[in-house]
Amino acid sequence: MGLSVFSLQGKLALITGGGTGIGFGIAKAIVEAGGKVVITGRREQILKQAIDELGKGNFYRVNDITNKAALPELVLDIESTIGPIDILVNNAGIHHKAMAQDTTDEDFERILQTNVMSVFALTRECAKYMLARKQGAIIMIGSMAGLFGIDKVIAYGTSKTALTGMVNALVTEYSKDNVRVNAIAPGWIESNMFLNAINKDEKRKEQIVNRIAMDDFGQTSDIGNAAVFLSSEAARYITGVVLPVDGGATVNF
């Protein structure tokens, strides 16, 4: 077999929030591994620019994952006009930064609706086709905040922890039909937004730098490469894992 088990030749991946940041890093890695992608998001111009860079044979769909009623139509459209979805990457999500005592019920519910309820709705819809074909790989994008406590992200941390429970439960139901479900928990990944945020808060920056065991921040390609592995035949016997890609942050003291 050799390295061919890591190839995604002939595979199609649906990546939510695939136009920027980690989602785009995952899209690039899948394309480089021989796969094709459909990226979704709310901003068409961003998606168009991303597809220009990803190249021919890749597609985008303007979609808001919080509109759960539209998700069956989105999946049917991709399945019938582009091809069978072999890989689903649930990357789209939103953040809310506030102390627990300053987080309202509305704030909390908004995060859960996007980061948990919408993820489940889209997963269920894609799985309908995957289970019938007895083949598929589903990847949730979790977070360090789902693995250990971080202040000021009570709603976000809870939503990412919930994804671990979702992975566990889906494994018990999907595995017999050869549909694998895993999660990646990115550490602190370099982006303009992230760097701008931590450069304004020296105390927070010091906390983060001290937590990471390695000597730099991660790159979006690091998450992309992990997604390629978990989507590929090389990981055919791996399901139900939460893979930290974090430079050792989860275990470092």
Instruction: List, by residue number, the catalytic residues.
Output: 156
- The 3-class SS string of 157-208 reads HHHHHHHHHHHHHHHHHHHHHCEEEEEEEECCECCHHHHHHHHCCHHHHHHH
Q: What is the DSSP letter of 131?
A: H
Residues 6+ apart with CB under 8 A from 122: 16, 65, 71, 75, 88, 90
Residue partners of 40: CB distance under 8 A and separation at least 6:
14, 15, 16, 17, 18, 47, 60, 61, 62, 63, 65, 74, 92
For residue 12, list its beta bridge partners. 36
